[in-house]
Amino acid sequence: MPVPWEALIPFGLLTGMFAATGTLFSVVRRGQNDGKPPRYNLESWDEMMMDRDKRLTGSRRGQSDNHVAPESFKTNSIWPAKQVQSAL
């Protein structure tokens, strides 16, 4: 049975488009994670540590080995604050 050569062109285009889309998606995901692979199956502890890392370094994937926290770490708490109304 002969091979229909004209069917290989659309097959190649489809394969190329799926490969390009998957590659671009992977590049974007790694770009958002500072060049590291994405994290899966995160627990609440992991989320808490990622929030702490974001407050310390400005990136959810960044970590710091500096033993002194930056000055902004004192005021950028994760707890929401409400402005207190005075009774006067």
pLDDT at residue 69, rounded to an integer: 78
Residue-range domain boundaries for the chain: 8-38
pLDDT of residue 88: 64
Q: Supply angle C-alpha 3, 9, 12, rounded to 5.
A: 105
pLDDT by 10-residue block (mean), the chain, 88 residues: 85 97 94 87 91 83 80 73 70
pLDDT of residue 81: 67
Give the separation between CA 7 and CA 35, rounded to whole angstroms.
Answer: 39
The model scores a pTM over 0.85:
no
